[in-house]
Structure 1
Amino acid sequence: MKHLKKTAIALGLAQMTMMLSGAAVAQTTDAPKTDTPAAEPVAVVVTGQRAALQSAQKIKQNSDEIVDSIVAEDMGKLPDRSVTEVLQRVVGVTIDRTMSKGDPEHFSVEGSGVNIRGLSYVRSELNGRDSFSANGGRSLNFEDVPPELVAGVDIYKNPSAEQIEGAVGGLVNLRTAMPFDYKGFKSAISADRTYSELKKGKTSPSYSGLVSNRWKTPIGEVGALLDLAYSESATRTDAFQVEPYYPLTDANGNRVFVPKGAQWRTLEFNRKREGAYGALQWKNADWSSGLTYFKSKYEMQWDEQAIFAQSSPYNIVVSKDATFNSKGALLTGTLTDPTDGGINFGDDTRTANRKSDTTDISWNLRWRVNDRWTFTTDLQHIKAKTQSFDSTVATGVTLPSETLDLTGNVPKILFSDANRAYLADPNNYYWAFTMEHMDKSKADETAWKTDGKYDFDDPVLRDFRFGVRLTKRDAVTQNSNPSYNWAAITQPWQVGSWGIPHVAYLGDPRFAGNTSLHSFDNFFNGGVSVPSVVFPNVSLAQGYPSTYSALHKYYEILCAENGNTCAPWTPATFGTDPAGTNDQSEKTKAMYGQLRFGWDDLKYPIDGNIGLRYVKTDSSAHGYTVFTSTLPTTGNTTGVTLPVFTPFSQSKDYDNSYHNVLPSLNLRLKYSDTLQFRFALASAMSRPDFTQLQGYTTLSASADTSTNAAGLTTVNSVSLTGVGTGNPMLRPITSKQVDLTAEWYFAPSGSITAAVFNKRLKDIIINQVYNYQLADTSGKLHDFTVTGPVNGAKGHARGIELAYQQYFDKLPGAWSGLGLQANFTFVDSKRELYNPVYTKYCTGGNTAANVNLNLNGCDTDGTTFGNLPLEGLSRQTYNLALLYDKGPISARLAYNWRSKALQAVNVNGTQGTDGLDSNPASATYGQHVVAWALPTWSDSYGQLDASMFYKFTDKLQLGLEAQNLTDATYKQLMQQNIGMMGRAWFKTGRRVVAKLSYDF
């Protein structure tokens, strides 16, 4: 029924086009310049892949700034399944393949975050205006945007003064069509079906439709456009994971490094994306105006079955026949855990849902006063919101042993028939835990700007542009409290001391049911066989909170069996706890002036622009501060004098204000009509994300004490520390950047371009320490050492970009349709701390806060690593595409590759607390670090995609697209001192899309 409804919408749109077509004038392949406030001309209406490349090349060649563009082959038909995937084709642009930076355990088939020239400080725009998602950041989640609504994408590498500030890495501007882009009537509909290889027997539909027309009226010319899009995606990801390697002693007394286990999981992902875009335009002799409405809605749901090792790593024993590499890392062997009676595994069913939408309403008015003066004013209101629910229910099982072979490209877990049978038996499982998380965010912004332009009648001066811009943005994010509410149902460590006689085994009739045996069919596309595992039913995870409450009753039943009364389960709530609320507001005021000039009579003509942008930012954070103290009372102590504090919990507002002066220079030298060179200098800035500006701080005072011979407490030292969830006083990251390019346009769709760039970064935001002053009861100020985000580093990102594209028109016959497109990017980066701390060792009673403080991470043996590069940066990236465009056939075979890149330090799955043995008499005293955090890397990855379209007529086209033709495996690494160890391997299979489109 749902699919029929979407089809009816598309057919209704087609019928509307028939009604409007009577007033249409003949359509041509050229479109006039739009009246939208975008900095560059909008896309030319083109047909065919070759014409699209030609149009994009023309934008790059004629631009005032350094820019790369992608133009839709036909309106609303970008060449990939998401805007994120489209962007990865551009030289200097890379995308992330995980769902979020803090959770690299979950793969994103369509990609997620975007980096430009190795930097994540990317500004996103829609038609030259602000665009963002309500996720605590400042940019748009490009995967949320229906690509069917986008006519083209421009990526600016070096800003000019008239462009809105905020793009250190670069600026991504999504362009939509306007009615006056067409000479008259335009309409098209399309539908497709996507088949995902691992989702056997299931396809996902997509539909889109566009209609546009323009009319002559007594008050001027009027145009109207409507564009609707709907798409679904259903994919599956299979994954292997290996736990971090811990220092152990093998059977021969040698120091070796052994993971506490390996595991596997599968994730079913379903995404629905809806978009609606409408535009009205009007113009007469001197005035023109445009009104646009853009709405994108995104909903995703994923369900996961995962098994993961949760034994104590230091209780693992490795078999005598185990083999190791030269650094002592395990290659093959059998793991057991005699202390715990076997290797304890958790077997969870997890479901996550997120709904997001962004609405943009914008109005633009342009007045051409005379041949010299032009004024435009622009008003925009954007509103974004998102909410999510994440729920996990787990059983547990104690596996007698696990045999690993880590020598191949993908790890092998070898199971005996006995172990397979053991895992398939529900009687061996118990109810383990639940965990829920909720968050919701909303953000809105109103922006107004007015620009003026004066055109000179001068052989050198072209025009002078100036303007002002005012914005006001409010953003509120709420997380449930606790944020991730992990709660044991029954765990082995609860038996006895926690008042229960045993865990809640599924074999007990009181606790049976609501589980099923998951068989992992066609795992890793049939390349690997893993055992079936008993998991909770998905309905338990989706039935929160009533299902959670029922499961936690099992613990109460067992407590009563032992004659005890145990506390009931408490669900997570949004409540009133300020720790879960991030409330921000921000106002900006900007003004700029920019002069365009040129010397056309020189032997080698030069043109360009020089400008200055000034922006003032005023931000407010509505926060909270909590202070607790465990200091002894002063009357019974000797030694260090104790300060006296009164514990408190109170709201606190923070106001931050800063201004930035951003000069820019862009020069172009035309050596000939086809060869030109560019030189650009600029200052840029990127404001902190709202997640980094949260004003919640916890402070604590404690003392290291001992008892003297008289029985009095001696204070040896006083510790004043704290943790800042964010830092409302952060400044923006700034950059001084220079670019030099050479561009040779030897054919309408043929070019060779090269760029050299250097971005010198300042005030990079990192987690370190800063001082927070608090007065004691006497009024004396004390410095608390608070761990949190600070502007604590500088660095650089420098490199080269090379790009080439050409159709080989001189080849005979059908071969003349062949073309080639290739680009390569090399980026070198460095990050240098202003105040290095904890850079060598992590041992010696360190805490989780100290591990967070060490940006380079801490290994499981208590040592740290060398300096790390900027996150998300691949040193090398390239794209290679074989093209064909001849007659009715248009095809593309495209390969994208990037080298390994640092994802993050201290993220989910590669951090932990082992528990320091604090007994000095113990033989293991001081051997275990309290906390550790490993850097995770994405390994080098390449993916081959293809598409082919056949035009039966000028109006009817059939196409096939395929993603990941080689069924590539995405690999994740964890950095340890024994080397780059394999952490996870992801398999998603191939996707094939059949697409049919019709132009009226």
Structure 2
Amino acid sequence: MFVTMKETCDQSKAPGHEKLLSGVSAMALIACLMTSPALAQSESEAEEETTQAQDVVVVTGFRASLRTSQDIKRDSEVFVDSITAEDIGALPDRSVTEALQRIPGISIDRFQAGVDPDHFSIEGSGVVVRGLTWVRSELNGRDTFSANNGRILSFADVPAELLGGVDVFKNQSADMIEGGISGSINLRTRVPFDSAGRMAAASIEGSYGDFAKEWSPTVSALFSDRWETARSGEFGFLINYVNSQLTARSDGQQISNFGQRTLFSNGDVVDDGASTPVGTVWFPRGAAFRSQTFEREREGIGAAAQWRSPDRTLEATAQFLRSDSQQAWTEHAIEIATDNVADNGDSRAFPGTTLSFGSDGVFTSGLITSDSTGWRDDQFGAQRTPVWGLQSNNIRRDQEQRYVTTDYGFNLRWTPEGPWSFNFDYQHVTSTVDVTDLTLWNSTYQDAEIELRGSSIPIVRFRNPGSFWGPDADPNDPAQGVPGTPCTPPAQHCPNYAGQSDLSSPAATFTRAAMDHIEQSEGKLDAFRFDADYSFSNMGWLESVRFGARRSIRNQTTRFSTYNWGVISEQWGSGGPVWLDGNVPGLGDLAGYHAPFGFDNFMRGKVPVPTGDQPRLFWGSNIIQDYQGMIDYARGVNDSWRPDTACGQPDNWQPLHLRCGVDADSPFLLQEINPSREQTDALYAMVRYNTDLDGGAQLSGNFGVRYVSFDREASGWRAFNQQGFLSDAECDAQAADPDQTTSTFCQLDPQVRADARAFANGALEPNDAVYTDDFWLPSFNAVLRLENGWQFRLGLSQALTWPDIGLTRNYYDISLSTTSEDIVDGRPTGRFSVGNPMLRPIRSDNFDLSAEWYFAEVGSLTLSLFYKRLHDVHTNGTERIAFTNNGATFDAVVTTPVNADTTGTLKGFEIAYQQVYDMLPAPFDGLGIQANYTYVDSSGVSQSTLSATDPDVSAGLVANVDTSRLPLQGLSKHTANFATFYESDRWSARLAYSWRSDFVVTVRDVIVPFAPIIQEDSGQLDGSLFYTVNDNVRIGVQAVNLTNEVTRTSQVLNDDLLTAPRSWFMNDRRFTFLVRASF
């Protein structure tokens, strides 16, 4: 990828980076920003670099950013769009991810993880380019990554203040590093030769979130200098530092687990014996709501040193960047435990009330309860657990994560006299990821009154079960009924709760479960690159030949525990759960460990708090800060409910580090530790051409081929998990007891039972895998430039994207299932998920075409068409495999990532327009518009329920929906951006709106009922206002989410793609007040 300078500005640049046209701000370092490491284009360009610019056009503000980005797009030989910081530390948006969404064809996710649409992301998360997530990340044109289960850098974790710009390359040339089918995103930092001389700059900011009602500071500083000596040449040095903090809040309201039910003439989904069926409807099992607070700190430091020889033939650059991003969040949520509801009589209308449904059969309003017929063991004994009411969870969840990426780069460029030029580049990257995620569930029982209101936030009220049985209450009036009112008939419907009057009481709550999850991963990468360029003279259309080689070696160890959920006490077993009004030996008063949480200002007061004036009890402190205290509490309650065995009862919670088989002094099982090594060797050759045509037209471009050899070594373990199968004596006792049902295991042949005990003995076998492959990637790019500002561009290429690290982890976690559906031919069957270290990359054939009209310094209209054929897409495959251990052999149904054997297509177009209306009379001549629209559609691309971290797919926990009928996950057919701005000598203002149409967030939610989730159409309005005080100081305010956008999702119900509303999320409007100075 190459561009040509059109302006006289300082041509010096970071090692091997091609020259890009740039305006220069009086307050910033805006000059000659770079793309990927490569060689100088020609001898004449090298000669241009020997002189300093004399006539620099000074352009300031957002207009300067648009001008530079337009020149980059126009002069490149490949399809590229860019964002440029018009001031030091001043991308147009508050984060890299949010800035990227302004580029045509790019959209961002608003959830922290695609498969978990319950947790909102304040600053955006994943980046989608032209409908695909297969993106490659670069830092200064070199590889970069985060050492998690993915493959690319987490863009939200890089301080935007360190960057000079961001480039998005949407197709390939032979000299580009392979790996991005949908695009390569290059983060550009600054180097000292960017500026004409000494420069010092600093900024201080304060951000206020109007929902969190907290201030957060950001400070940044930069110093850059360059000096020349007569004998030793020119030197430059730059250092840059930023510390950015953010506090934010997000609230959500949700409707849970719609299922298909029969509606009867009594207005309920339960037959009262006197009713008749009237149709099929979609009815929920409850509701949920949550409030989440975030604290994020990003710290970054960047440095660069440059040297240029006196004769200007040698240039060396050393660069350093360290990004340290930490995020902590706490969530309080109340959720109906829909799995337990389904297993205990299921949801229904409260007696005496009726349910309402729309014309499509989807529930719209009603009072929902459950008449338990299941596992509430103490409901007729101590009458503590009510017969009526939906079991619900009061969930406290704390998560802390830290991503640290450190990048070292060195580049040496030699351009001697003559046709040859050479480039050498070295990079070393280290990355660590640390995540601690802890949750504790309390539980109670309540009814859910739900009123859906179309796209508006629904009204949900959680009520004491049985509260409508008061002697003076009208059961048809939801406003009546007093929680705790003594009930009369029928007695078994009474909640009792030991006479407590509301759900804030410890007597109405028990501790149900806990979960812990830890990740401690690290990786490093070393990459070497050599390029040579030979420029022709008097060879007609042939301009130069470039060839080179690159080797990268990436070593990574992923330590990723399971999400370790287990029971502490429950409504089933041991006579009921452990209620919080009791005392446990060694713990004392259980209520003292918990605190009420009332969800103040829930959803900004747009709807009532579902719990009304009865705050519920949650774990009372940050679990991570007192992890051991939570462990002691949970194990004490656990023992009082059902004593543990040596490795824990099968259902009891054991903290990660106390599980049998953990690695010494670690919380990880051996099968949760997965080292891998990848080596990539590449060779390329590329011809650049340029010729003049009749009529003043010019045709230029490149064609070439890249050869890639790839080796992967993945190490892991084959674990035959220890399972506590009953002994023959216990089976005999069970069969002899007329009051007990004989388990499916005890119904097996005695020899099969003996084989199962031998097989599930906790054995570990080392397991190594090696994958080797190679690829040829041809490319052709052409640009036809006309004299009137029009140009036409064509790109043909083949590309690939490597599989995520998590999908290639080498592990087998083998357990036998003895449920009736998993007994085949009288033998238990295993059912589990594994990684696939033999997984091939996704490949694509890419066709790109554009028409571009550049009619002003900041004025362009472009149309880009694109078409991709996709091969070997990663999806899930299932295979039946026989495993032998300890002399016993059993079959297992194994779910693993595989390459689809079908070819899919993706197509679309982008339209982009920008202009400053200089022709208008003052003061309106500073007005401008930037707008773009993208259409994307796909066909035949295999859907995937792939997750590197979710074991439940193999257990068959998927929705009964044909996902091939859904649009491709993450793809919005329509995305649009519109920004209007105004700039004068002193003032600069901007309003920017980003919108995307509905799209599939995930084809499989991680929670019951594991349904596909769609995010509905959404848009966000942001703005900024700046005032230039003098040549050195600028003040301003930036605003995010001005319209208080509510993000909505829906659940897909059936193969006809009928949907039901699922969630509504609301977050801060953020206002940042800032002062910037440069000297």
* Distance apart, 1:263 and its partner CA: 1.6
Query: Do 1:743 and 1:753's aligned partners in 2 also have CA atoms closer than 8 Å?
Result: yes
- Alignment counterpart, residue 189 of structure 2, candidates 176, 195, 198: 176
* Distance apart, 1:786 and its partner CA: 2.6
| 1:336-347 correspondence to structure 2 within 5 Å | 336-339=369-372, 340-347=387-394
Structure 1 residues 139-169: Cα deviation after superposition (integer angstroms, max 9, x where no partner): 1100000000000111101110000000100
Tell me what 2:606 maps to. 527
Tell me what 1:897 maps to. 995
* Distance apart, 1:776 and its partner CA: 10
Taking a change above 3 Å as real, the CA distance of residues 45 and 547 of structure 1, as seen in their structure-2 partners, is same
| 1:556-567 correspondence to structure 2 within 5 Å | 556-558=639-641
Tell me what 1:710 maps to. none
Tell me what 2:216 maps to. 204
* Distance apart, 1:43 and its partner CA: 5.4
Q: Secondary structure at the match of 1:472?
A: strand
* Distance apart, 1:388 and its partner CA: 1.0
Q: Secondary structure at the match of 1:512?
A: helix
Tell me what 1:58 maps to. 71
- Alignment counterpart, residue 426 of structure 2, candidates 379, 401, 419: 379
Query: Do 1:794 and 1:834's aligned partners in 2 also have CA atoms closer than 8 Å?
Result: no
Taking a change above 3 Å as real, the CA distance of residues 225 and 44 of structure 1, as seen in their structure-2 partners, is farther
Tell me what 2:898 maps to. 790
Point out where structure 1 has 5 or more consecutive residues left out of the alignment.
1-27, 707-713, 838-846, 912-932
| 1:142-221 correspondence to structure 2 within 5 Å | 142-200=155-213, 202-217=214-229, 218-221=231-234
| Matches of 2:335 and 2:824, distance apart in 1 | 44
- Alignment counterpart, residue 108 of structure 1, candidates 92, 103, 121: 121
| Matches of 2:187 and 2:89, distance apart in 1 | 12
Taking a change above 3 Å as real, the CA distance of residues 514 and 485 of structure 1, as seen in their structure-2 partners, is same
* Distance apart, 1:938 and its partner CA: 1.5
Taking a change above 3 Å as real, the CA distance of residues 257 and 778 of structure 1, as seen in their structure-2 partners, is closer
Q: Secondary structure at the match of 1:52?
A: helix
Tell me what 1:989 maps to. 1068
Structure 1 residues 667-708: Cα deviation after superposition (integer angstroms, max 9, x where no partner): 0111224100001000000000110001112457899999xx
Tell me what 2:109 maps to. 96
Greater CA deviation, 674-683 or 970-979?
A: 970-979
| 1:590-989 correspondence to structure 2 within 5 Å | 590-603=682-695, 604-626=697-719, 649-698=764-813, 716=825, 723-770=832-879, 786-792=894-900, 793-833=902-942, 849=954, 851=956, 858-859=959-960, 864=962, 866-911=964-1009, 933-977=1010-1054, 979-989=1058-1068
Tell me what 2:474 maps to. none
| 1:447-462 correspondence to structure 2 within 5 Å | 447-457=527-537, 458-462=539-543
Structure 1 residues 569-612: Cα deviation after superposition (integer angstroms, max 9, x where no partner): 63112456233122111001001011100112433321110010
| 1:114-153 correspondence to structure 2 within 5 Å | 114-153=127-166
2:572 counterpart of 1:493: yes
* Distance apart, 1:752 and its partner CA: 0.1
Q: Secondary structure at the match of 2:852?
A: strand
| Matches of 1:384 and 1:470, distance apart in 2 | 19
2:614 counterpart of 1:587: no
| Matches of 1:805 and 1:43, distance apart in 2 | 17
Query: Do 1:84 and 1:110's aligned partners in 2 also have CA atoms closer than 8 Å?
Result: yes
Structure 1 residues 924-983: Cα deviation after superposition (integer angstroms, max 9, x where no partner): xxxxxxxxx311122111000000111011111011111111111011121112722111
Taking a change above 3 Å as real, the CA distance of residues 61 and 248 of structure 1, as seen in their structure-2 partners, is same
Query: Do 1:801 and 1:825's aligned partners in 2 also have CA atoms closer than 8 Å?
Result: yes
Taking a change above 3 Å as real, the CA distance of residues 540 and 376 of structure 1, as seen in their structure-2 partners, is closer
Superposition RMSD in Å: 3.2
Tell me what 2:13 maps to. 34
**Sequence identity (%):** 35
| Matches of 1:880 and 1:495, distance apart in 2 | 62
Greater CA deviation, 765-774 or 422-431?
A: 765-774
Query: Do 1:770 and 1:790's aligned partners in 2 also have CA atoms closer than 8 Å?
Result: no
| 1:221-300 correspondence to structure 2 within 5 Å | 221-252=234-265, 253-254=277-278, 255-284=280-309, 285=311, 286-300=313-327
Tell me what 1:85 maps to. 98
Tell me what 1:12 maps to. none
| Matches of 1:139 and 1:231, distance apart in 2 | 22
Taking a change above 3 Å as real, the CA distance of residues 635 and 521 of structure 1, as seen in their structure-2 partners, is closer
Taking a change above 3 Å as real, the CA distance of residues 705 and 104 of structure 1, as seen in their structure-2 partners, is closer
Taking a change above 3 Å as real, the CA distance of residues 595 and 820 of structure 1, as seen in their structure-2 partners, is same
2:349 counterpart of 1:323: no
Taking a change above 3 Å as real, the CA distance of residues 85 and 160 of structure 1, as seen in their structure-2 partners, is same
* Distance apart, 1:56 and its partner CA: 1.0
Query: Do 2:1024 and 2:1038's aligned partners in 1 also have CA atoms closer than 8 Å?
Result: yes
For residue 244 of structure 1, what is the amino acid of its counterpart?
N
Query: Do 1:471 and 1:589's aligned partners in 2 also have CA atoms closer than 8 Å?
Result: yes
For residue 968 of structure 1, what is the amino acid of its counterpart?
E
- Alignment counterpart, residue 581 of structure 2, candidates 474, 481, 506: 506
Tell me what 1:550 maps to. 633
* Distance apart, 1:484 and its partner CA: 1.9
For residue 459 of structure 1, what is the amino acid of its counterpart?
G
Q: Number of matched residues?
A: 914
| Matches of 1:716 and 1:55, distance apart in 2 | 70
Tell me what 2:656 maps to. 572
* Distance apart, 1:771 and its partner CA: 6.5
Taking a change above 3 Å as real, the CA distance of residues 44 and 467 of structure 1, as seen in their structure-2 partners, is farther
Tell me what 1:915 maps to. none
Q: Secondary structure at the match of 1:212?
A: strand
* Distance apart, 1:557 and its partner CA: 3.5
Greater CA deviation, 865-874 or 58-67?
A: 865-874
Greater CA deviation, 240-249 or 352-361?
A: 240-249
Q: Secondary structure at the match of 1:513?
A: helix
> Structure 1-normalised TM-score?
0.86
Point out where structure 2 has 5 or more consecutive residues left out of the alignment.
1-6, 26-59, 266-276, 373-386, 463-478, 485-500, 658-665, 726-744, 947-951
| Matches of 1:324 and 1:227, distance apart in 2 | 60
Q: Secondary structure at the match of 1:161?
A: coil
Structure 1 residues 421-465: Cα deviation after superposition (integer angstroms, max 9, x where no partner): 723334322222221111111010000001111111033111111
Query: Do 1:153 and 1:174's aligned partners in 2 also have CA atoms closer than 8 Å?
Result: yes
| Matches of 1:622 and 1:216, distance apart in 2 | 52
Tell me what 2:526 maps to. 446
Name the one with the larger strand percent: 1
* Distance apart, 1:317 and its partner CA: 1.5
* Distance apart, 1:359 and its partner CA: 0.2
Structure 1 residues 483-540: Cα deviation after superposition (integer angstroms, max 9, x where no partner): 12223222212342xxxx5522336673221222222221111212212322221234
> Structure 2-normalised TM-score?
0.80
| Matches of 2:839 and 2:831, distance apart in 1 | 17
* Distance apart, 1:103 and its partner CA: 1.7
| Matches of 1:171 and 1:516, distance apart in 2 | 48
2:502 counterpart of 1:422: yes
Query: Do 2:875 and 2:945's aligned partners in 1 also have CA atoms closer than 8 Å?
Result: no
| Matches of 1:62 and 1:835, distance apart in 2 | 39
Tell me what 2:330 maps to. 303
| Matches of 1:424 and 1:777, distance apart in 2 | 53
For residue 213 of structure 1, what is the amino acid of its counterpart?
D
Taking a change above 3 Å as real, the CA distance of residues 832 and 811 of structure 1, as seen in their structure-2 partners, is closer
Query: Do 1:597 and 1:609's aligned partners in 2 also have CA atoms closer than 8 Å?
Result: yes
